[in-house]
Amino acid sequence: MRALVTGASGFVGSAVARALLAAGHEVRVVVRKTSALSNIADLSVERVEGDLLEPASLCGIMAGCDALFHVAADYRLWVPDREAMFRANVEGTRALMEEALTAGVKRVVYTSSVATLGSVPGGVADEQTPVRYSDMIGPYKQSKFRAEEEVHRLIRLGLPAVIVNPSTPVGPRDIKPTPTGRLVRDAARGHIPAYVDTGLNIVHVDDVAQGHLLAYAHGRIGERYILGGDNLTLAAILTLIADIAGRRPPSLRLSRHWLWPVALASQAYARARKSATPLVTWDELRMASKYMFFDSAKARAELGYHPRPAEEALADAVAWFLATGRAPGKPADVV
């Protein structure tokens, strides 16, 4: 099989490209002119230029490919220009999927997110949990919800697509890092002295990558599959990271009530500085008001998906941040 992978220079995309190569497939990757290529520098892949913000650049990039793995997305919880995020995540996805229809690829695996799914207060959500666009908090979730709608629309027109919804991946090569990667990095540094009462589903990025290949091989067209791992409270996550890094876990639990003014001030500062990232945002606090717990039973049953324990995922993530010099000492600039 020859597969086209978007987002291969990033965190999840590079893991998908590596998994495909390890399985013996040929891989073509889409990179932007400005993409940092360190995550794929050692990979034997064909590179082509393309940009989700420039639909014309996507024409013809799937020629000769059997499969499309569309992993690329603008993933930020703070974005001063929401329209650019919608252009990349929604319009870019639409253009790429239309190109896949034109090229006649045999199978598409679209990387959505659990961000598009519903939540169950005090419980665990799955692919069937009711959800509406009005439930989406912030431009990232909103744009991914609309993008998934576009994929479903094109499936009805004949697009042979399977949708995967990763939860919260952690692991090596999170070079940006992602918002979760920043949490792991800063906790490993000992720079998170307190926490709020929330929870996440933690999964190893390489298990998410294997889930993509399983979705290609066994997924049903038009279906979505949660690629998750273990449900853990934030306190438990930070304790595990502290144990791995040899640090004392935070013991101070903060009420979100006291953090709303901090979020507003932090966002105002980031807007003034333009390139700055807020310490905490209003949307992050709204999202943290819910436990983001999910069930991967459908992927286990239909795909044969078997993720490793969250402790192993966090250990690999911390080890990578330590090995690359991103965790020890004073906070470094985000790269």
Which residues are known to be catalytic?
Answer: 140
Q: Please choose, from the candidates 69, 58, 67, the residue with its C-alpha nearest in 3D space to the C-alpha of residue 99.
A: 58
3-state secondary structure of 226: strand
The tokens describing 148, both together, are: 């998934």
Contact yes or no for 57/49 (Cβ under 8 A): yes
Q: Please choose, from the candidates 38, 43, 58, the residue with its C-alpha nearest in 3D space to the C-alpha of residue 101.
A: 58
**Where do we find the tokens 């004949």?**
158
In whole angstroms, give the CA distance from residue 90 to residue 77: 16
Count of Cβ atoms closer than 10 Å to residue 60 Cβ? 12
